[in-house]
Structure 1
């Protein structure tokens, strides 16, 4: 397989795993965490020769499930161990193939939580003799809302088992989760939330309508072998791909809106170097290992600082060098400050290429006071093919609801409209207010208990409607507690 020397996470994790100890291991992306748990587990399987499913690996994304399954196939070539990848987004034929493999039993199941539960509910999944549970990219699974699914799966596993939890970050929720499922666990923490030292990180302060031109300059002038371009909005992927294709670059996109077959075909083309640029959402930011990615571009800044570390970790893997470029507009500057705080270094801000004009000044505090992400005073948003460079959480890629919320949460005029569809700001200067409508006298101050005169004809109608809706103050019919028509349904003895 080409392994010559164990990486630090492998050197520390493998002995604990061979000693049957629970483990919580945290190391930066691209350091060989997958082999750190697969190599010792396959060693155990080859010795024990189980005749049942002994190992369950839970992962957040389909791509990662497929990739780990492929690695099991390579590493287990001489052990005879079998594995099956269980993930959604497939056709009925793939469901039947998964069912057959689960029914006959495989040594190792690599699965996304949702699809595994769907199979478990059918009653043919047998995990009652499971020996090893592995959670890979555990922080991402919690970010994507898999907590309930994970606990449901774990509740059906034997309590006597070895549990391994691998993660690239260690937020408090991971420690809390680990305490619930691990027993007297050993802990390994290596360079948490720090990008590899051999990544050249650069920042361009841009307006949105400058992003594509700067990107074109980078693609033409830099020695780009292969590039992953990340955007936080899946509905921006196709727009960016079309723009790159018009520039003459081989580009395709991956997001959760595409079928699994399409995603796998695109990823395979990218691995085979048939594509120069892969445009992706954060579905590609975790665990996906593609050799010799020379550049990563963040078309917008991710919402979570940790996701920045995962994105740029797609380059400079296994000791190679790479470059990570991030476009930062006015509204994203505060997020950049959080990233710099997390990685404990200030990132260099590059001047824009000649002829691009001036970008926004770096002043995150002033931009925050202007209203953060509500809008741009630069007028620069209009030219971005993606519409807006707003970010969503890395798991947002799997949630269409989140995109709908973002699409409806802009700062447009709709929020400032009355129910009669008249904008608040529509009244021309000098026009009378509704309180002093044309030809009317100014309203006298209202005294307590005195009804207020209607402001306009439309509002008088509304008041009448409201009064008609009020329940009439009628007594219940004689001899019974049933209220008459129009009376409230509650009885007289109701606490209200």
Structure 2
């Protein structure tokens, strides 16, 4: 479907023209119409499918059409991480370029008092769109800085990640402050029981859009080393003997191990940096800028950069630990082979993780090549599932409950009023060049 086929405002379409976005992704095609019609929406689709535009475009279009209070917060978008909040804010600036009356503020922790004061002023003045991480927004709510009584749109982006990070209680406390007429939109990469329960609590008669988890790009060359935990650093050194040491991300499941890996690589003389939740916002920004600009060759990170971080030229992804589930594996290795480039993904599998890796192979419907360990590293464990696989603890909280209803317009109808069709836009012709929207 073409964006011109949707009932988006002229200013929204003009911004899309400038960004060379013409064709909808599947999640955009299926989610934008019901959002424009005022329905609550639950979208289940993995990262990289265009979910941000799938909710920003219809919301901005409706704000642009008018009819919303100028001195109130009209939309609240929740993000699990600062990095994703920043990227949503950047997308917001691009999509709203021709909407000078629509303003936004990004709210996230890890910054100084001046930034907090700026957030406070924006909240008090009634920013149209508030993009926030749960913890920081709760801080402002506790200080009495927020009035959500006239919010029309509530968006939960990457809801499964927020629940995994323990934000369930914060989300419910925020949702309780919203009016019953608020339209709620929720996106998740997975659909476990906890997400179903949250959806029942927050959404009223939602339109449900489910897109199956995609297989990794064919251009990603996947392989694995089966090794003991104490052999992994030696394997890393061996990998970098035969692979270029630039534009590489190494993923680990814990920030403690990220720090250990980074220290070890630095001691070997590698140009690397680390990314995890213990860093301040200024430190995170510096690390990401250094990596994106090529000043740092190797980034060692937790899953904080597995989703929502848009870097197109990653040459290799190394899973130092086997990811928690199939979706995490797909998200991690999906950082490479983007924009039709080639890429390489290598996973280090210790004995107790074999069962988890076998599940990944089953999902992929293929056997991933097992590379032999060099003799000087030692003997690897057998590639067979153990009887007592490692247990993983998520530390998740229970969900609360709250119902919200779809937004209604001033006439009490469920669907938004159709905007007047003018002749200000040039008709779409077959000769128009179309570029795939990523």
Name the structure 1 match of 2:62: 44
Name the structure 1 match of 2:275: 254
How far residue 125 of structure 1 moved from its aligned partner, in angstroms, is: 0.7
Higher Rg of the two aligned structures: 1
Cα deviation code 1:205-259 (max 9, x no counterpart): 1122332232233334234541211111211222212222233332100111111
Name the structure 2 match of 1:60: 80
Secondary structure of 2:184's partner? Answer: strand
1:186 maps to which of 207, 223, 226: 207
CA-based RMSD of the aligned residues comes to: 2.4
How far residue 318 of structure 1 moved from its aligned partner, in angstroms, is: 4.8
Distance 2:217 2:128 in 1: 34
Name the structure 2 match of 1:19: 37
Aligned length: 376
Q: Are 1:268 and 2:286 an aligned pair?
A: no
Distance 2:246 2:20 in 1: 23
Q: 1:257 to 1:108 in 2, by over 3 A?
A: same
Secondary structure of 1:364's partner? Answer: coil
Name the structure 2 match of 1:280: 301
Name the structure 2 match of 1:409: none
Indicate the larger mover: 30-39 or 55-64: 30-39
Indicate the larger mover: 288-297 or 212-221: 212-221
Q: TM-score, normalised by structure 1?
A: 0.71
How far residue 314 of structure 1 moved from its aligned partner, in angstroms, is: 2.3
Distance 2:324 2:48 in 1: 21
Q: 1:341 to 1:174 in 2, by over 3 A?
A: farther
Secondary structure of 2:224's partner? Answer: strand
Q: Are 1:104 and 2:122 an aligned pair?
A: no
Q: TM-score, normalised by structure 2?
A: 0.79
Whether the 8 Å CA contact 2:213–2:327 is kept in 1: the answer is no
Distance 1:394 1:70 in 2: 32
Q: Gapped runs of 5+ residues in structure 1?
A: 374-389, 397-496
Distance 1:28 1:257 in 2: 26
Q: 1:339 to 1:229 in 2, by over 3 A?
A: same
Cα deviation code 1:84-117 (max 9, x no counterpart): 1111222222221211111112111111112111
Whether the 8 Å CA contact 1:224–1:294 is kept in 2: the answer is no
Structure with the larger RCO, 1 or 2 (CA within 8 Å, 6+ apart): 2
Secondary structure of 2:120's partner? Answer: helix
Whether the 8 Å CA contact 1:24–1:164 is kept in 2: the answer is yes
Name the structure 2 match of 1:217: 238
Q: Gapped runs of 5+ residues in structure 2?
A: 1-18, 398-438
Whether the 8 Å CA contact 1:14–1:37 is kept in 2: the answer is yes
Q: 1:318 to 1:83 in 2, by over 3 A?
A: farther
